[in-house]
Structure 1
Amino acid sequence: MTETFSPAQTVEISGFSLDTLRYYEKIGLIEPVRRAAGGHRRYSEDDLGWLDMLRCLRGTGMPIAQMQNFAVLAREGDDTVEDRLALLEEHDAAVEAELARLLEQRSKVRAKIEYYRAYLAQQPAVCVPQGD
């Protein structure tokens, strides 16, 4: 029997909140989750793998609408591999551009840090008289 996970376990493993899991199911980013006999959601290892992919896509700035498109393509099977590849390549290019922008901004921050360090290094030491 394949191991399944409760919503609480899935929250802990995936890092998504319960509200986010429900929202993602509602908008079709994840397929309807299987239910146990009592009606409680049970997430599979495949679900957790998919959630990990969604976390990666969202964490790298992919818009929800594009994630939904990716989810639809994934559910359509092997006939959409080229479309999924194109979508991910486009996203990868956007991530690369964002990384370049961030690195440029980081260099400006570091330059300002060095400026302030140099400024502080030139300040005379302050002598505080000690009581006798």
Structure 2
Amino acid sequence: MTITEVSEKFDVSQDTLRYYERIGLLPRVNRNKSRIRDYTEEDCKWVEFIKCMRSAGLPIEVLIEYIGLFQQGDETIEARKELFIEQRKQIIKRMEDMRKTLERLDYKITSYEQAIVDKEKALKRPED
């Protein structure tokens, strides 16, 4: 696949794909005879993985560390697992924080809805 096709498939800009390759998040993408990037199925799996992890909030530095460990082979399986366990804890914390924020927003929305109803009732009340 070309960089344009991968960009469209994963909704990631071409600049972002080039950046990910430059900093080592993506393995060096092969190029065809015309020197155009030629993404393999494996490259696309990495793009999908990176996009998923980034959307969950994992920092690029953590992903670079993971990729480095992955490239070292099976002797780093435990380290990779620990890295993901730590990131999972952080995601759970963020989810809890977001849940609290959502509850607060729901409360505020309900309060405003009630204030609107009360105001409308007061406007409809006949004068004494």
The answer on 1:81 being equivalent to 2:91 is no
Give the structure with the larger helix fraction: 2
Report the CA distance between 1:124 and its aligned residue.
Answer: 2.8
Of 100, 104, 107, 1:108 maps to 104
- Using structure 2 for the length normalisation, give the TM-score: 0.91
Report the CA distance between 1:60 and its aligned residue.
Answer: 1.2
Report the CA distance between 1:81 and its aligned residue.
Answer: 1.1
- Give structure 1 stretches of 5+ with no counterpart: 128-132
Pairwise CA RMSD of aligned residues?
1.3
Aligned to 2:59: 63
Counterpart-to-counterpart distance in 2, 1:55 and 1:124 = 48
- Using structure 1 for the length normalisation, give the TM-score: 0.88
- Which residues in structure 2 correspond to 1:1-132 (within 5 Å)? 5-124=1-120
Aligned to 1:130: none
Letter in 2 for 1:66: V
Q: Percent identity?
A: 28
Letter in 2 for 1:57: M
Counterpart-to-counterpart distance in 2, 1:10 and 1:76 = 27
Q: How far does the alpha carbon of each residue in 1:83-113 deviate from its partner, in whole angstroms, 9 at most, with x for none?
A: 1111011100000000000000110000000
